[in-house]
Structure formats: C-alpha cells, structure tokens
Structure 1
Amino acid sequence: MKKKNLWVSLCLSAALFLGACGSDATDTADSAAGSATDASGQVTAETIKEAGVLKVGVKEDVPNFGLRNTETNEIEGFEIDIAKKIAEEILGDAEAIELVPVTAKTRGPLLDNGEVDMVIATFTVTEERKETYNFSDAYYVDAVGLLVKKDKGYTGLADMDGATIGVAQSSTTADAINAEAEQYGISLSYSEYATYPEIKAALDSGRVDAFSVDRSILAGYLDDSTQILKDRFATQDYGVAIKKSNTELATTVNDLITAWGEDGTLDAMITEWGLGE
C-alpha cells in the first residue's frame, strides 16, 4: 500500500506550495501558456493531442489523494493516478502530463483562465458549482468530518458550542457543519487557511479547536494526539471539473470515469491508496 502519512512530509509540502522549493518540468504552477484551443475556442481531446500535454490542477497536500513526496519531489496519490490514466487515454502516454498544484481557492480561477485543462483536486460537486463548471460523475464519495485533539474531550459536534473550526478557503465545509449545528442549537466560528497543513498546525497550536474537511482527507492527518469524531456531515461527491464551454472534453472524461466506475478500475485504485476504509 502506498500510504504517506508523515506529518514532516506534510509540513514540507506546505513549504513547497509556498515556493520554498522549485518544481520539475511536469508539475509547475507557472505554465508558460494556457491550454490549446480549437477554432471555436474550446479545449478538446484533439487540441490536447496537438499540444502533446494534458494540464491538470491537483492537490499536493492531501495524503493519498495528491501529496508531494519530499524525497522525489513528485506528487503522488489516487487523484494523480486518475489524471495519468486520462492522459494515457487521450495522449497514449500517462507521463504526458503537467501537474499544477492548486488549493480550494485557486483551482476555480486556474480552470477559468485556461491554465489547466481540468481539475482533479477533491473538488466537491454541488448544484451551485455545476452552474459554473462541467463535472464528471463522482469518482469518490465522502462526507465532512472533524479532527480534534483527544485532550479536548469532545465526543461529537453537540459538545462544541463556541468552538473555532479551521477550514480551507473557498470550501463548502462551513456550510455543511452549520446546517448540522443548527439542529443542536450551538454556535461556531471559523478560521480559513490556504492549505491543510496550515489547519493542522493551527489545531496543534490551539488556535483552532477542530480541523474540518472530508473524512478521508482528515485520515491522512491523524496522529497519536488526535481523533476523528463520529459525526458525518453532507455527502461529498468528488468529480473531475472542466470549464463549462469545453463540452466535448467533459463528455470524453465523463465517459472514462463512468467506464472505470463500472469495470472496477476506480475501486481498485481506491483500495490501493487505502481509501474508503
């Protein structure tokens, strides 16, 4: 199994994200040019073939989904494998790919301005987001959870009146928690951070009382001093996001995701990365 669950690696991943280290030719946020388009301005499978490279926005701080290996400087994970498999189908070469690190805040703008052809970055499909982007069928289903320090004594959200919860910028996490909090009659406050390692650092230092994101992501940040509470909020469907105007490419990718869901390919990849446990 390929799990990478070291806090040291996560801290270094944050440093890499902030530019402390250089990146190689296959994953850089400073792409010299946007995606190739056809005469109508669309990015299609054919224009990607002509360009010779598939540009994909991915996470680099999410264990088992997209995490930078500090020994090799490569980004690895379930979503990276999906991106490579799509590149193999379109270009015939799984390595003909440019991985562009994104966050919850930057993934939309990078897709909008054409710096990436698609985003595969724990991007939750919502009705509101579907008005702006094309999404594939879900390749993974999760739910929002809470990671807390064991010494806090929390047993669930109902115990957390007045707590401050760390969430990612531009995520839907706070909305999911607030909907549940209303049922308990409790009030919460939120602090937003650019990366997941920053939220974990805030939890460790006591600046927040909980770290909240999807439960499978939280699992990568567990250590001896923390626990994931039993609460589950709002089903989270992860889909491949593509610019709204690129309908042909969206159909191509959705057909691939659907086929891989039906033939067991996605399940095998999920198992390989220790997800869904």
Structure 2
Amino acid sequence: MAVGCALAVLFVLLLPLVRSHGESGGPGTGHGLAHGSATRAAEECAAPEKQTLAPSGADGPTIDEIRGREGEKRKLIVGVDQNSYRWGYRDPNSGGDAELEGFDIDLAHRIAEDILGDADAVQFKAIPTNQREPAIQDGRVDMVVRTMTINCARLEKVAFSAPYFRTGQQLLAPKTSPITGYDDTLAGRSICTAAGSTALSTLEQDRKDGRLAADADLGTTVPNQLDCLVRLQLGEVDAVVTDGALAASQAAQDPTVQLKGDPFTTEYYGVAMKKDADDLVRRVNRILEQWRADRSDGWRNSYDTWLSPTMGDDPARSEPPAPEYLRRS
C-alpha cells in the first residue's frame, strides 16, 4: 500500500446543457420553433461520436495560423494530462527530464508531425480535467488530447474528431471492499469523481433517475482523476468512478485496489478543438485514419507499448468503430 501511495503522490507532485425547450405551439409560433430546434438537436446528438467532419488534407485558416508561428513558438499547442499512468504521464524512473509519454502523447506527436513536419514540434500544457473545454475556448491550446469523452454537452462548446478509443465508466475500490460493482452495494458509500467529468454527470443523473442509490455520496470531486486514487488510498472515499481505461491504469499503480464489476456505459475518446476550426478537425480526422491503418507505428503499436500492460493484450474492446462523419458544417 505504501508503495502505491508513494507512486500516486509522486505523480501528483509532478503536476506544475443548456437545451432549448418549449411546449408545442401552433404553426409559426416561437414555442413551436424552439421545440422543433430542440428535437433536431436531440436527433443530431443521438450518436455524438459521429458528429464530426469528413477527413481532408486541405489547409485552412487554423492550420495556417499554427504554421505561421515563428521560431521557438512554431509548435502545436496541445492540452494533455501529466499524471494519467500510461496515457499522459512523466515516468520518474525514466531518467533525464522525465518527458511526457503515453498513448495520448503518441497521438499528439503524430498530429504535430503531419501539420508541422516535426513530431517534436509540440508544446504540451498540463490541463486539469475541469479545464479542458475552457482551455480550448480561451485559445490557450490548439487542441486537447486527454482521454476526453465525446458527448452532447461538450459538443455545445467544442468540436471533436472521430473517436480514437472506446471505453466505459467503471468502478475502482479496495480489493477488500464489499462493493461488487455499479449496483446496490454503493448504497451509503462515498464515491470520488473528477469535476467536469462524464463520470460525475452520469452518477448525478443516475441517482436522480433511481439507477443509483439515493444515499450514495457524490460530494467528493477533485480537479484531476489521480487525486481520486489518493483519496481512496487515504480512506477518505469508498470508491472511484472513472473511465475503465483510466481505472485500469490506476489499479496498476496500486495493487491493493481493483476494478469492480463491468463497465456500465460505452464512451469514446476524441481530440477536442475549437468549434470553428473546421480545417483542423478535418485534418485530425485524416491523421486518425492514417494512424489506425498504420500497422508498424500506428494505433496498435501505441496500444501494445502503453496500454497492454494494464488493459490486456487484446485491443479489440478498445478499438473505436469505423468512423462516420455526419456533421456537414
């Protein structure tokens, strides 16, 4: 336990819908128009992972701006995590400067290589979970590559690429815990989630709808997901809910905890960008197609390198479906 705690704390120390809705009205009434718009929006967001633009290699204003940066500033600015083991993290045992590495980091380098001709032309910015959308909207980063789930609420604020990874919400708890999964054993238990995460919004909705015990305590939220593991190790919470891919990495950091039960949602990670950065979205989608098809140094190689030790040798459950590009503008 001490080893797991020390590792998790070390990683921490390394850290430098609104919807329109209206009653049906008569033809031409404002209520009728609002209801129609809401209906169309709901239909369009039935499969948020498909609401992206078709791939293209054409340049545009966003890519031109990135390429127009001069000197040391001529880099792709990417928001990432630096404490998600095997995804985006600094390995204290790697020696030297403990550079960022992981599955998401590989993808960021691949995008930089395509756009700027240099895989190392990346400026990484560590972004807390609850700051991912604001960092894009405020222009602090060109994109976020940070285990970010594509969902309807986020599509109101940012644009997404096609999915590059499939996962689902899952429970993490001590091996000795009587918690067995996402079920009645969570009654009266305290659950930690990251602020602004899909885990938190899912649990809040499920508790409201009666799928989660009404007395489950969701009061513990943290800026970064790894902080939940520390809270669990300290006995301050009974369980953690996060993406199964991240939970598997956390379980690998501490052998006294384990995944409990099966994933209870299906979610997809995407690269997030500004809503009006159409040229960049299309370019990233083309890069993702090439990355998935590359059998020597692509998606599968990154999975084998970073994720197979925590998620197993078979990547089939994590491979995203064939992309669909339903967004027209």
Q: TM-score, normalised by structure 1?
A: 0.83
| Aligned with 1:258 (options 267, 278, 289) | 289
Measure how far apart 1:227 and its partner are: 1.3
CA distance in 1, matches of 2:273, 2:11: 26
Is 1:101 aligned to 2:126, yes or no?
Answer: yes
State which of 178, 184, 187 in structure 1 corresponds to 2:215.
187
**Match in the other structure for 1:59:** 81
Residues 141 and 237 in structure 1, CA contact (< 8 A), matched pair in contact too: yes
Runs of 4+ in 1 over 3 A off after TM superposition: 5-10, 177-181, 183-187
Structure 1 segment 6-85 matched on structure 2, within 5 A? 8-17=6-15, 19=16, 44-51=62-69, 52-70=74-92, 71=95, 72-85=97-110
For residues 49-97 of structure 1, what are the alpha-carbon distances to aligned partners after superposition, in whole Å with 9 as ceiling and x for unaligned?
Answer: 2212100000111111101223433111000010001111111111111
Report the CA distance between 1:150 and its aligned residue. 1.8
Aligned pairs for 1:1-277 (under 5 A) are: 8-17=6-15, 19=16, 44-51=62-69, 52-70=74-92, 71=95, 72-158=97-183, 159-178=185-204, 182-183=210-211, 185-190=213-218, 191-222=220-251, 223-264=254-295, 265-275=298-308, 276-277=311-312
Instruction: Kindly provide the CA deviation profile for residues 161-202 of structure 1, in whole angstroms up to 9, marking residues without a partner as x.
Output: 011101001111023335556336553121101123321111
Q: Deviations over 1:102-155 (max 9, x none)?
A: 111112111111111100011100022112211001111101111101222222
Distance 1:99 1:7, change over 3 A: farther
Letter in 1 for 2:245: S
| Cα distance, 1:128–1:272 mapped onto 2, change above 3 Å | same
Q: Secondary structure at the match of 2:14?
A: helix
Aligned residues of 1:168 and 1:192 also touching (Cα < 8 A): yes
Counting aligned pairs with the same residue, the percent is: 30
Does the aligned pair in 1 maintain the 2:137–2:157 contact within 8 Å?
A: no
CA distance in structure 2 between the partners assigned to 1:69 and 1:183 by the alignment: 39
Shift of 1:268: 2.4
- Higher-strand-fraction structure: 1
Cα RMSD for the two superposed structures: 2.1
Q: Which has the larger radius of gyration?
A: 2
- Point out where structure 2 has 5 or more consecutive residues left out of the alignment: 17-59, 313-329
Where does the alignment leave 5 or more consecutive residues of structure 1 unmatched? 20-41
